[in-house]
């Protein structure tokens, strides 16, 4: 299924803007009834099942695989190893841009991390392939793995994140610290985290000669298609990717990953359609993660509590064979003004799968450290942490000196603080208890996320019957793109939602860009808007030149589209329906094209960010150490809101991630073996319903004239920032214990007398 919105009778059409309406997900029924087709739901005729065998060691070589045993198992068709893997046109260890990652696709016998694919068993059934993979019983030549943030020599990476400088300094940090009345220095540690989308990177691959058809989840189908074209030496136009629904992405479906490429290679090897679905444990290895960090913050404050220096250093790790460096320090560019700011990174290489983008990459890990440090600084100055923040914000972006595009941060603070009741907070830690004797703590964190736009295209068609079709290869990870983009599509053609067919989710549509960086709605939305306006402009041109039209002879700029009609701006009665114009012109349709992308000139002049504030209440059992987040209140200003229901849901989702960051998520890595000891959803903890007691996300209105034509910022990632720090600060306020290693656990907050034997 790749379209929604059947055309219905005019009586049902709503004559109002679709943008701004809190409509429910248009794909919601399909999803909850199981009719939405995810990648693994496809079963083309003759399809075989592939299962990856993955390494159990972190470093070394595969010296033996019992291929005969696997092949002898009933139902096993073939075993793919480096010896018989079909060749590739491009070395999978090459990469030529920051959005491309090196792959592990059986290029040799090297093992570089645990769960690296080392063979693929292809069989008539999933069960036979699974058993065949077990029968391979690999033998290894082991070498000691490098594990942890102190493994090997640290170095300064050339860049962090996708192409950001790893060091940025303004002013003189040491002078600022020397001049300070008070200083704090604190080191925070965040663990490796794994994306854990509900749907793994499943793929069903089918070769039709040199043509390739794949069903696989992708946040960026055009980039994925280019990647596959390069690897397989075929034309991008000969590749069709279908990704109408993604069961979550969070960054890990932003690039074509090794298991997906292995599925395609397997299909080529056996010359039949192949399905390959990584198991949940296999998701912890070749499919990306958020790298661990150790962040040191040094802050100086003058007598009035104004920052005199802000130094943020991050140590992180990447794999031994590829590059992605968590840009955690760069959060300190944006929020707090200081005459001296320095953000630096260094890194070690460890035997792990390559880290990559994960929801608010850099901002999330950086924010929990920065917001904790700001809280420590505020209390060191004897100031309320909200007052301290207000004293340290600036109208210009601290690092760039550029003006913010309509900065609404103060409104976020005011609205969320009032709703939360922050004014009643005691300054002193450990001073609040509830009626049951639980320790109560209140904390605040500031949220921010940059306005990111990629590039996208869209096509908008007005058909002979006056209805519309809008098409773009957009991707819905679950965030509601099918819905929000369809709302923009309808408005762009000045049609009701019911009169507008919206198609997305396949790579043969116009380039839908990247569902990432919280920039999808802004980028594709503006492409759609431009395409719709182009189609309308063509229609106006026809009408004013047609002597049968009531609009004949009018100046084009005096004519506007109004809900399926063109009419004079100043005389609504003078006009006619789209369908009439097309009918007389003998046209089946009029097609408009549009592009969306950042305006480089505006980006040069303004610092563009979404802002927010999050307040958290925790209750901690003094005897058991159990930490409950009993209230979370966030307020966010993120530009034009296309659909308040979807936007609130994005804030909720990200705030819940923030809670998980503070209290739950952590990959436990065995330092001796490099194995992740909790590589499954039973032991890798994420927040569940019972962890969320009360959650509120307020939308602060913001009309930003600069960011793009539609005024859209982004809502997907900002909620993680702010939230995690607010919770950590609330834990301090409840207990007086400043926990600097995340996630915060029971043992961290137990009263000393309670933990004594």
Q: Catalytic site residue 717?
A: yes
- The residue among 370 and 720 lying less far from ligand MOS, judged by its C-beta, is 720
362 binds ligand MOS (CB under 6 A): no
Q: Please pick, from the candidates 219, 317, 467, 523, the single residue that binds ligand MOS as defined by CB under 6 A.
A: 219
For the chain, state the CA radius of gyration.
Answer: 28
- What is the C-alpha end-to-end distance of the chain, expressed in Å? 62
254 binds ligand MOS (CB under 6 A): yes
Q: CA-to-CA distance for 677 and 669, rounded, in angstroms?
A: 6
- The residue among 19 and 647 lying less far from ligand MOS, judged by its C-beta, is 647
Asked whether the beta carbons of 344 and 298 are under 8 A apart, the reply is no
Omega before residue 520 within 30° of 0, cis: no
The structure tokens listed for 583 are: 């009918």
**DSSP-derived 3-state class of residue 254:** coil
Q: How many residues bind ligand MOS (CB under 6 A)?
A: 11
- The residue among 219 and 673 lying less far from ligand MOS, judged by its C-beta, is 219
Q: CA-to-CA distance for 218 and 203, rounded, in angstroms?
A: 10
Q: CA-to-CA distance for 178 and 736, rounded, in angstroms?
A: 28
Q: In the bound complex, what is the minimum distance in angstroms from residue 516's beta carbon to ligand MOS?
A: 3
622 binds ligand MOS (CB under 6 A): no
Element (H, E) at 574: strand 571-577
The pair phi, psi for residue 175, each rounded to 5°, is -65, -40
- The residue among 305 and 517 lying less far from ligand MOS, judged by its C-beta, is 517
Q: CA-to-CA distance for 188 and 171, rounded, in angstroms?
A: 24
Q: In the bound complex, what is the minimum distance in angstroms from residue 219's beta carbon to ligand MOS?
A: 6
Which stretch, 56-64, 249-257, 311-319, 427-435, contacts ligand MOS (CB under 6 A)?
Answer: 249-257
714 binds ligand MOS (CB under 6 A): no
Cα→Cα distances 715→262, 434, 479, Å: 34, 34, 10
Q: In the bound complex, what is the minimum distance in angstroms from residue 254's beta carbon to ligand MOS?
A: 5
Which stretch, 272-280, 351-359, 686-694, 701-709, contacts ligand MOS (CB under 6 A)?
Answer: 351-359
Q: In the bound complex, what is the minimum distance in angstroms from residue 359's beta carbon to ligand MOS?
A: 5
- The residue among 118 and 328 lying less far from ligand MOS, judged by its C-beta, is 328
> Cα–chain-centroid distance for residue 432?
37
Q: In the bound complex, what is the minimum distance in angstroms from residue 358's beta carbon to ligand MOS?
A: 5
306 binds ligand MOS (CB under 6 A): no
Which stretch, 250-258, 310-318, 334-342, 613-621, contacts ligand MOS (CB under 6 A)?
Answer: 250-258
> Cα–chain-centroid distance for residue 8?
35
- The residue among 354 and 549 lying less far from ligand MOS, judged by its C-beta, is 354
505 binds ligand MOS (CB under 6 A): no
- The residue among 287 and 358 lying less far from ligand MOS, judged by its C-beta, is 358
Binding pattern to ligand MOS, positions 509-548, x when CB under 6 A?
Answer: -------xx-------------------------------
358 binds ligand MOS (CB under 6 A): yes
Q: CA-to-CA distance for 118 and 108, rounded, in angstroms?
A: 9
249 binds ligand MOS (CB under 6 A): yes
- The residue among 388 and 449 lying less far from ligand MOS, judged by its C-beta, is 449
Q: Please pick, from the candidates 188, 357, 413, 420, the single residue that binds ligand MOS as defined by CB under 6 A.
A: 357
Q: In the bound complex, what is the minimum distance in angstroms from residue 193's beta carbon to ligand MOS?
A: 12
Cβ neighbours of 210 (radius 10 Å): 11
Q: In the bound complex, what is the minimum distance in angstroms from residue 207's beta carbon to ligand MOS?
A: 29
361 binds ligand MOS (CB under 6 A): yes
251 binds ligand MOS (CB under 6 A): yes
- The residue among 360 and 462 lying less far from ligand MOS, judged by its C-beta, is 360
- Per DSSP (E only), the strands in 362-488 are 439-450, 456-463, 468-471
Asked whether the beta carbons of 499 and 563 are under 8 A apart, the reply is no
Cα→Cα distances 543→560, 571, 583, 590, Å: 11, 16, 11, 12
247 binds ligand MOS (CB under 6 A): no
Cβ neighbours of 683 (radius 10 Å): 11
Q: Can you spell out the DSSP letters for 396-415?
A: B-TTT-PBBSS--HHHHHHH
366 binds ligand MOS (CB under 6 A): no
Which stretch, 158-166, 168-176, 356-364, 609-617, contacts ligand MOS (CB under 6 A)?
Answer: 356-364
Which stretch, 243-251, 308-316, 641-649, 659-667, contacts ligand MOS (CB under 6 A)?
Answer: 243-251
Among candidate residues 78, 376, 457, 717, the one labeled active-site is 717
Q: How is residue 85 annotated by DSSP?
A: P
The pair phi, psi for residue 712, each rounded to 5°, is -90, 130
Residue that has been written with the tokens 């295209």 in this structure: 457
> b/e string for 716-738 if b means 16 or more Cβ within 10 A?
bbbbbbbbbbbbbbbbbbbbebb
Q: In the bound complex, what is the minimum distance in angstroms from residue 98's beta carbon to ligand MOS?
A: 13
Binding site for ligand MOS (CB under 6 A): 219, 249-251, 254, 357-359, 361, 516-517
Catalytic residues: 717
């Amino acid at each position: 299924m790749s379209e929604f919105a059947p055309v219905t009778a005019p009586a049902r059409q709503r004559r109002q803007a679709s943008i701004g309406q809190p409509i429910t997900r248009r794909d919601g029924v399909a999803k909850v009834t199981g009719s939405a087709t995810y990648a693994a739901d496809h079963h083309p005729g003759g399809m075989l099942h592939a299962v990856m065998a993955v390494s159990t060691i972190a470093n070394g070589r595969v010296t033996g695989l019992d291929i005969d045993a696997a092949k002898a198992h009933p139902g096993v068709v073939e075993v793919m190893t480096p010896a018989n893997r079909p060749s590739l046109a491009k070395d999978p260890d090459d990469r030529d841009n920051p959005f491309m990652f090196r792959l592990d696709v059986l290029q040799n016998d090297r093992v570089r991390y645990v769960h690296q694919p080392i063979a693929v068993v292809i069989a008539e059934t999933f069960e036979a392939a699974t058993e065949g993979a077990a029968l391979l019983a690999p033998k290894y030549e082991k070498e000691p793995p490098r594990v942890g943030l102190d493994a090997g020599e640290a170095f300064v990476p050339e860049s962090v994140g996708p192409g950001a400088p790893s060091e940025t300094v303004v002013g003189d940090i040491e002078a600022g610290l020397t001049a300070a009345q008070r200083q704090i220095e604190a080191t925070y540690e965040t663990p490796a985290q794994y994306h854990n989308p509900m749907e793994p990177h499943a793929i069903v691959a089918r070769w039709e000669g040199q043509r390739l058809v794949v069903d696989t989840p992708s946040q960026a189908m055009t980039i994925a298609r280019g990647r596959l074209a390069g690897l397989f030496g075929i034309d991008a136009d000969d590749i069709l990717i279908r990704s109408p629904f993604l069961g979550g992405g969070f960054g890990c479906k932003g690039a074509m990953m090794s298991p997906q490429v292995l599925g395609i290679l397997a299909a080529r090897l056996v010359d039949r359609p192949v399905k390959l679905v990584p198991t949940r444990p296999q998701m912890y290895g070749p499919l990306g993660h958020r790298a661990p960090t150790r962040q040191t913050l040094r802050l100086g404050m003058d007598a009035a509590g104004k920052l005199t220096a802000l130094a943020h250093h991050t140590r992180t790790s990447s794999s031994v064979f590829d590059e992605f460096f968590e840009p955690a320090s760069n959060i300190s560019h944006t929020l707090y003004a200081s005459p001296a700011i320095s953000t630096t990174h260094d890194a070690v290489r460890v035997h792990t799968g390559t880290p990559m983008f994960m929801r608010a990459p850099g901002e999330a890990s950086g924010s929990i450290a920065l917001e904790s440090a700001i809280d420590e600084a505020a209390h060191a100055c004897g100031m309320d942490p909200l007052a301290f923040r207000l004293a340290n914000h600036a109208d210009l972006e601290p690092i760039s000196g550029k003006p913010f595009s309509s900065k609404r941060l103060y409104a976020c603070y005011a609205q969320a603080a009032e709703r939360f009741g922050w004014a009643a907070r005691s300054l002193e830690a450990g001073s609040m208890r509830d009626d049951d004797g639980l320790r109560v703590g209140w904390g605040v964190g500031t949220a921010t996320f940059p306005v990111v736009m990629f590039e996208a295209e869209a096509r908008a068609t007005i058909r002979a019957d006056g209805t519309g079709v809008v098409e773009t290869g957009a991707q819905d990870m679950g965030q509601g793109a099918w819905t929000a983009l369809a709302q923009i599509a309808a408005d762009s053609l000045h049609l009701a939602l019911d009169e507008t067919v919206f198609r997305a989710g396949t790579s043969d549509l116009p380039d839908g860009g990247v569902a990432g960086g919280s920039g999808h709605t802004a980028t594709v939305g503006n492409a759609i808007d431009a395409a719709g306006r182009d189609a309308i402009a063509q229609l106006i041109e026809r009408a004013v030149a047609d002597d049968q039209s009531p609009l004949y002879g009018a100046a084009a700029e005096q004519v506007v589209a109004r809900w399926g009609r063109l009419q004079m701006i100043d005389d609504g009665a003078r006009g006619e329906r789209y369908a009439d114009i097309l009918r007389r012109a003998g046209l089946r349709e009029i097609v408009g094209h549009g592009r969306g992308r950042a305006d480089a000139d505006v980006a040069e002049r303004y610092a563009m960010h979404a802002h927010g504030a999050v307040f958290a209440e925790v209750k901690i059992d003094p005897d058991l150490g159990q930490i409950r987040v009993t209230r979370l209140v966030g307020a966010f200003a993120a530009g034009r809101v296309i659909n308040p229901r979807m936007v609130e849901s994005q804030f909720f989702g990200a705030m819940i991630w923030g809670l998980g960051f503070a209290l739950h998520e952590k990959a436990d890595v065995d330092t001796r073996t490099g194995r992740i000891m909790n590589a499954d959803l039973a032991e890798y903890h994420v927040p569940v319903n019972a962890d969320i007691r009360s959650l509120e996300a307020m939308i602060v209105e913001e009309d930003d004239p600069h960011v793009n034509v539609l005024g859209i910022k982004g809502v997907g990632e900002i909620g993680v920032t702010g939230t995690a720090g607010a919770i950590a600060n609330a834990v301090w306020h409840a207990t007086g214990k400043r926990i600097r290693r995340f996630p915060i656990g029971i043992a961290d907050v137990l009263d000393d007398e309670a933990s004594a034997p």
